[in-house]
Amino acid sequence: MSVPSWKQTASKLDAFAEAVKLRHIITQMIMRNFGLKREKYDAIVGRQVREKYPELKSMIAKIDAYQNEVEKARLLTEYPEYIIGKVRDNLFRYSSDLVSNIAAANEIQCKTPNEFVKRILLEDDAIGDIARIRQEVLFIEEFFRIDLSRYMEYSEQLEITKNYLYRWKKSTVRDYDEFLHPEKKASRPEKEKARKRHKPKKQ
* pTM, to two decimals: 0.69
Higher pLDDT, 51 or 12: 51
Q: For 113-159, what is each residue's pLDDT tens digit?
A: 999 999 999 999 999 999 999 999 899 888 877 777 765 678 889 99
Task: State the Cα–Cα distance between residues 79 and 144, nearest whole angstrom.
Answer: 8
For residue 151, the model assigns a pLDDT of: 53
Task: State the Cα–Cα distance between residues 130 and 121, nearest whole angstrom.
Answer: 14
For residue 53, the model assigns a pLDDT of: 82
* pLDDT confidence tier of residue 203, bands split at 50, 70 and 90: low
Burial zone of 48 (CB within 10 Å; 0-12 exposed, 13-18 middle, 19+ buried): exposed
Q: What's the CA dihedral at 194, 195, 198, 199 to 10 degrees?
A: -150
Task: State the Cα–Cα distance between residues 4 and 159, nearest whole angstrom.
Answer: 19
Task: State the Cα–Cα distance between residues 27 and 164, nearest whole angstrom.
Answer: 21
For residue 71, the model assigns a pLDDT of: 58
Task: State the Cα–Cα distance between residues 199 and 101, nearest whole angstrom.
Answer: 36
Q: For 57-103, what is each residue's pLDDT tens digit?
A: 788 777 777 776 665 555 445 666 778 789 889 999 999 999 999 99
For residue 112, the model assigns a pLDDT of: 96
For residue 66, the model assigns a pLDDT of: 74
Task: State the Cα–Cα distance between residues 93 and 105, nearest whole angstrom.
Answer: 18
For residue 9, the model assigns a pLDDT of: 38
- Output b/e per residue, 57-76; b: 16+ Cβ within 10 A: eebbeebeebbeebeeeebb
